Each structure stands twice: as structure tokens, then as C-alpha cells.
Structure 1
């Protein structure tokens, strides 16, 4: 784990006005360490995005002293309440999946067990105004995911999020709650018992300093961490303009799998989910549909991959068609029709057979790729 002096330098950088994750990462990439950045003065102006006003802050002894003072106080406050600070350069503890997103948090305030980061992680999110069906499905999927060896990631919100944490805890599994406020702020307040259970059995995480109150603009930023920590994101219920759809979009941008649980066609809480399915999200009806699509991970000590048919189990036509879909980019139906010289009805039958055997999958626009 990074030493206290290193953490204090990261905190001091984060305390300077006008600096966010993106600029802090750029500065450290140029100057090497956060301490070197703090000592760089106006030389920081050579970094893209640092204008004259920001450069003047680094040349202001009072501003730098105030940032360092706040950093020392924040360290003391965190230590007193059992909160640990994790730096993005701490490769031994900082979650490797989160390192891969475009703007990983510079610091994480954590309460609980860091070993949760070592497990395969799946996010499970959805509507705060969840239906009884949505709550039941969220609880069940979370329980089954933890029984399979995964940690469930969610946002501790009311509705789907809360049930996801509760399902994981009920199975005796691990769960990670990512907050849109400080880790010492319980939101919503009536989740105080759930908060304590997650802290005792899993991990509470935030990129915001202690005492930070929940505000609307913080939650989209929080959502990038939920998806960034996870191999895949499951949307259980989401209205047409739900914040969960932001999480789904961020998951796609981060090259994560997106899964959607279908609901009633007349349910407003499933309108956004059904739109995701139309756009190509995996429709799931059991936990196996999630586990089969995750990157190769070990669950409960065993490789959880769908059995792939041996070459001799495929017909000559299937083998030939499979070679046409062997390109790194997906093949569309027109291209396959032209190359295979097969009647469209026969082609669709062969494609369906290969899809059922788990060798290919269909993408939007009648495109196919190897799994």
C-alpha cells in the first residue's frame, strides 16, 4: 500500500481547485510523482488543459499550503473512523479493472475488505422505484452470482441496488457498494443497517472526500466506477430516462458486457431495459446467461465456460460457415450469403445451429461474430 506521505501528496493535488482526475493523471504522467507536480510551479502550464489560472495556483504558496494542510487533516479523519485511502498508483491493491477505464479515480476512500477487489465482479443496478418483480429478480440474481464465486457491485440506492446488496449478503457472499457521496455519509438514510452489513461483509467505496454530501451531478461519475469495477453490468429495471442507462452506456465505452432482464411490455420500469435489448444487450433469464458470457474467469475453483462442440460434432456446412465468421470483425448476413453461396433459408438454419452450440453470437443489424 502507498505510504502516508505519498497519499498526502495525492490528496493535496485533489484538493487544489480546478483539478479533476483527468488533469491530475496528465500532470503525474509528465512530472513523475504527485510531489513533483506540487513542486513544479508554473512549469505545469506545459501540460495540456492547464491554463494560466490553474498554473498560477501552483505558483501560490498559500494555496499549496492550504491543500497540504487539508490533506493531512483528511488522513487523520480517515484513520480515526477506520477508512483506508487507496491511490491509483498502488498496483498491489488498486483494482486492475478500474485501472483500464479512461479516467480512473485518483483516490478511493474505502471501508471494509480490500480482498473483494480480487474476486470476479458483476454489477447489478436498476430503478430506485423498482417493482416487486424487479426486487425479487435483483435479490435472486445477486445471491446466485455470489454463490458462483462473484462479488456483486452496486450503488446502495433504494430499489434494485439495495436488493442486489441484500441478496449477496444473504448468500454469505461479498458485495461492493460504490457511493455518490463520502464513505461516511449513508444515503439513503434508511439504508443505515444495510450500509453497516456491507461494510462488515464487503466493501464501501467512494472517490469523494469524507463528509461529501450526495448531489445529483455526482452519481453519473459514480456510475463509471460501478461499471469500471465490473466484468459485466446487469440492468434489472430501468425507465426510459433512468440513470442505470448511463451505467450501461459507460459499460459499453469501457468494453464491458451489458445484460438486461426483460420485464412486462406495459411496465414503465422496463422501458429502458427493453430498449437496451433492442440495441444488442444480452437478454438474460437465468444467472447462467450471465456467467457464460463473462470473460474466462474461475468461479468456485472451476472454469465456468459453456461446453464447445468438438470439430467432429459439426457438419461440413457448419465448419465451412464457421471459417467465414473467423475474421476479427463481425460478418453481416449479406456477406455470408455471397461467400457461402447457400440459400438464405439454409444459411439461417446453419447460423441458428452454430449460435445454439455457443460458437457464434448475433449482433444488431444481422451481424455475426465468433464467441
Structure 2
């Protein structure tokens, strides 16, 4: 019998915790051994209560695993266990590492050299959305992979920003890989499964249960060298991710916000406790690459396959994105950017000096 079936069976034991699975693998080495072991032997380990043992006894069938394998092959879904060379080394060292992952998309992103997690509110302000998309786009533009939870709000905006750049983004789900949650992210979910990567430790068909999301947050931070917080309340899932990051010895970055607004209170508190304040993507980049000035960033970008220009300033990034979409007059930029005309004129002048754009007869052209 193919060992993969036993792994699928093992990962699909929904009523056995990650901690119990970890202990079982340490004691019995493989899922096939666990499948074969008697109830009496398991009982002697003192790992399980009676209801766990009853559940394991009822679950000893590979039929569901066979159906799952057929479905995964049809849908282009892979299973990566801790024994697989593709399983990220960074995840092996976290507290309670997942026994395995279900993945769909560009699996090489799991081991990309620099990954930054971005977390924040599910109901962000317009400004929070703008920061998330712009920072993600700027970081992705220099080859950094963005990791987030594919939730509504900041997560989704971060994924959109990075996939619209070089597609370097990983969505960590709190459901089975065959379930999109929330449904409003279906378009993003489908695109990421083809052009980027979605992953989960939860078995096929597992629903978005409340406890799944705090559990998946340790994977977001575990995969990342650092975590950026954008607009988070004092009691939020984002801060759970930050706690995991701190336990894992990762860098924590925060974009500061309105001190009178509860939406920004969690992030502002983290700044008081020592998180790094960032107002520009270069504040993050300097911890991973040597960046002395804007020209070095531009030179680094030219080595990328896309040959596109980097816009680090958030307002410049907004204008750059609009111009790339075909809005090439000042009037159009005023309408769609919601920036004052004098601000736009100043930014366009700087972009022209930096040889990002050229203005010909009132029309703006990307160089």
C-alpha cells in the first residue's frame, strides 16, 4: 500500500490535535505504523482519553484517503509531509509544527529566500487597504514573497498587491484547501492557486471553524522572516500572529496609525513595546538587503525578469499603478487616486526626474 494513503489518513484525523499527532510520530515514526498499532498499545502510551481511542478505532479505514487522493490528482493539489524535501525548514522548528501541508500552485514559493507576513484588520479603513496593497506590491517587486491568511481586508489587499506585481504570495488557509473562505475572495483564491500558492494543514473539506484561524497564524509567522502589522485592534487575530512571531524570534514591523482610532490601537501598542516603526517599504528591506538609496533599489529591480520600476513612496505607487492601468491624464489621476492636484503634480515631477515616466503633450507615459 502506498505510504501516501496512510499520510492522508493521518492528516485527516480531525479530532486528534496537532500536539497528539506530533507525539505519535515521535513514538511510532510513521502513519503506517500508527494505523497498524493496536488499541491496547495506544492506550499504554497515555496520550489519549477513551473518546480519542474510540475515534481512532472508528477511523481505521483508507477508503476516504483513496477518494481524497483521486480528488487531489484531478485538482492539482499536493500533499507535503515533514519527510518531503519541499517541506519548509522554517516550519520544522516552530512550536507544534504541522505534520503536513496541502498545497496548490507554485510550491517553490515555500522555500523562497525572503518571506514577509502581512496581517491586519478584516474591516480596514481606506488608508489601511492602500497601505497593505502598496507595501505588498513594493516588497514583491524586489523578489520578496508575501505571506498572509487570504482573509477579507488587509490579508486580501496584501495578496492582490503582490500577485499584481510578480505573483510572489502565499495564502495560508484556515480551512481545507478545497474551500474558499470568505467566499468574497473566490476570484483571488482561484488566481493564487494558479499564479501563486495556497496552503493549509487542514484536511480536505474542513470548514472554517473559529479555532482554525489562531492555529493557522503560527504558520504565517513560521514561514516568514518578519511580520508587518497594518491596522489591528488591541484584541485581534493579528496580535496572535505577532505573539507567534515573537516566540519564534521573528522581526515585527508596524505602520503607525491614528492614536484616537481603535482600529490602529493594537499596532500602536506594539510600537510602544518595541516593534519597528515603518513608514516606507525600505524600512523593512534594510533588514534583509543592503539598500542605501533609491537608485540602488532601481538597479536591483532591473535585474528582475519584469524590468519594471520600483515605486517605494506609497503615493507614487498609487499613481504608478493607475498609469499602468491606462489612466494617463492628470484629471484621471485626480479622480481615481483621490489625491489633491498639487500633490499629483509634485509627484509626477519627481517621477519624471527619476525617469519613471515621461509627460508628452499632457499624456503620461511609463518608461
**TM more than 0.5:** yes
Paired with 1:99 and 1:124, the residues of 2 have a C-alpha distance of 21
Deviations 1:140-191 (A, max 9, x none): 1111111221110011111111110111012123100111112221222121
- Name the SS for the 2:60 alignment partner: helix
TM-score (norm 1): 0.73
Change (3 A) 1:63 1:136: closer
- Name the SS for the 2:263 alignment partner: helix
Q: Report if the CA contact (8 A) 2:11-2:202 is conserved.
A: no
Q: Report if the CA contact (8 A) 1:143-1:170 is conserved.
A: yes
Q: Report if the CA contact (8 A) 1:121-1:230 is conserved.
A: yes
Q: Could you tell me how far 1:280 is from its partner in structure 2?
A: 1.3
- Name the SS for the 2:80 alignment partner: strand
Following TM superposition, the consecutive aligned residue runs of length 4 or more in structure 1 with deviations greater than 4 angstroms are: 55-58, 299-302
Q: Could you tell me how far 1:6 is from its partner in structure 2?
A: 2.2
Unmatched 5+ residue regions in structure 1? 303-371
Change (3 A) 1:47 1:257: farther
Q: Report if the CA contact (8 A) 1:109-1:183 is conserved.
A: yes
Paired with 1:258 and 1:276, the residues of 2 have a C-alpha distance of 9
Q: Report if the CA contact (8 A) 2:105-2:197 is conserved.
A: yes
Paired with 1:172 and 1:18, the residues of 2 have a C-alpha distance of 39
Q: Report if the CA contact (8 A) 2:146-2:169 is conserved.
A: yes
Q: What corresponds to 1:174 in structure 2? A: 168
Q: Report if the CA contact (8 A) 1:27-1:47 is conserved.
A: no
Q: Could you tell me how far 1:53 is from its partner in structure 2?
A: 4.7
Of 76, 87, 90, 2:81 maps to 87
Paired with 2:98 and 2:18, the residues of 1 have a C-alpha distance of 6
Q: Report if the CA contact (8 A) 2:91-2:97 is conserved.
A: yes
Change (3 A) 1:29 1:155: same
Q: Could you tell me how far 1:56 is from its partner in structure 2?
A: 5.6
Q: Could you tell me how far 1:131 is from its partner in structure 2?
A: 0.9
Q: What corresponds to 1:149 in structure 2? A: 143
Change (3 A) 1:183 1:274: same
Deviations 1:173-228 (A, max 9, x none): 31001111122212221211111221122101111122222122211111111111
CA RMSD of aligned residues (A): 2.3
Paired with 1:108 and 1:300, the residues of 2 have a C-alpha distance of 36
Q: What corresponds to 2:231 in structure 1? A: 237
Of 98, 103, 113, 1:105 maps to 98
Change (3 A) 1:301 1:174: farther
Q: Report if the CA contact (8 A) 1:127-1:238 is conserved.
A: yes
Matches within 5 A, 1:218-233: 218-233=212-227
Unmatched 5+ residue regions in structure 2? 291-296, 301-367
Q: What corresponds to 1:47 in structure 2? A: 45
Question: Quick check: 1:162 aligned with 2:156?
Answer: yes
Of 60, 64, 80, 1:64 maps to 60
Q: Report if the CA contact (8 A) 1:148-1:300 is conserved.
A: no
Moved more, 43-52 or 147-156: 43-52
Moved more, 42-51 or 123-132: 42-51
TM-score (norm 2): 0.74
Change (3 A) 1:210 1:17: closer
Change (3 A) 1:244 1:8: same
Q: Could you tell me how far 1:45 is from its partner in structure 2?
A: 3.3
Q: Report if the CA contact (8 A) 2:137-2:165 is conserved.
A: yes
Q: Report if the CA contact (8 A) 1:7-1:87 is conserved.
A: no
Change (3 A) 1:81 1:147: same
Q: What corresponds to 2:196 in structure 1? A: 202
